[in-house]
Amino acid sequence: MPPERLLEAMTINYWLMKSEPTTFSIDDLANQPDQTTCWEGVRNYQARNLLRDEIQVGDRVLFYHSACKVPAVMGTAVVSRSGYADHFQFDPKSNYYDAKSDPENPRWYMVDITLESEFERPVTLAELRERAGLKGMVLLQKGSRLSVQPVKKKEFDTIVKLASKPA
């Protein structure tokens, strides 16, 4: 199959990834070499499974600032490397060290993401809650705490469109 046909055949999925802006913000991503970073430190098995098995190169990401005064979607990114072992799990000096993780059978995974766009204005959690078309979003479900979660294409498109409109 020619490369251009292969791209057409790929299914793009959509995700939301949460980060505390005091730990790593969208501005930090913008300042990385090639505006690319590994999405490390995920220590939840459900999110790990997504990173390991589901998230693929070319998938689109909503970059979300959480645990801050005004939680909001700040922009978009693209997955530039699919799941691979989170090397921090093997580093005793890392906050993400896991003494029980085996290099032959890693417990934790990460992906790389590359900045696609920073929104002209953040799309706040409060604004997301007001949109009828977003009521089913995983982010808006009671008790939802996953740092990596699926998003429907329609939800992704709605949020990107909201970011281009005045608040």
Distance of CA 116 to the CA centre of its chain: 12
CB of 156 closer than 8 Å to CB of 14: yes
Which residue's entry shows tokens 């990834």?
17
Own/partner long-range contacts of 5-11 (Cβ < 8 Å, ≥24 apart): 7/58, 10/56, 10/58
Both tokens of 30, joined, read 């913008």
What residues does each domain of the chain span? 3-163
Picking from 6, 28, 8, the residue whose alpha carbon sits closest to that of residue 19 is 28
Burial (CB count within 10 angstroms: exposed 0-12, middle 13-18, buried 19+), residue 94 = middle
CB of 24 closer than 8 Å to CB of 70: no
Class in CATH terms, 3-163: alpha beta
Residuewise pLDDT in 10s, the chain (167 residues): 555 555 555 799 999 999 999 999 999 999 999 999 999 999 999 999 999 999 999 999 999 999 999 999 999 999 999 999 999 999 999 999 999 999 999 999 999 999 999 999 999 999 999 999 999 999 999 988 899 999 999 999 999 999 998 87
Q: What is the pLDDT of residue 167?
A: 74
Give the C-alpha separation, 146 to 167, whole Å.
27
Give bridge partners of residue 115 from the DSSP assignment: 77
Give the C-alpha separation, 51 to 24, whole Å.
18
Q: How many CB atoms lie within 10 A of CB 165?
A: 9
- Global pTM reads 0.92
CB of 75 closer than 8 Å to CB of 87: no
Q: What is the pLDDT of residue 144?
A: 87
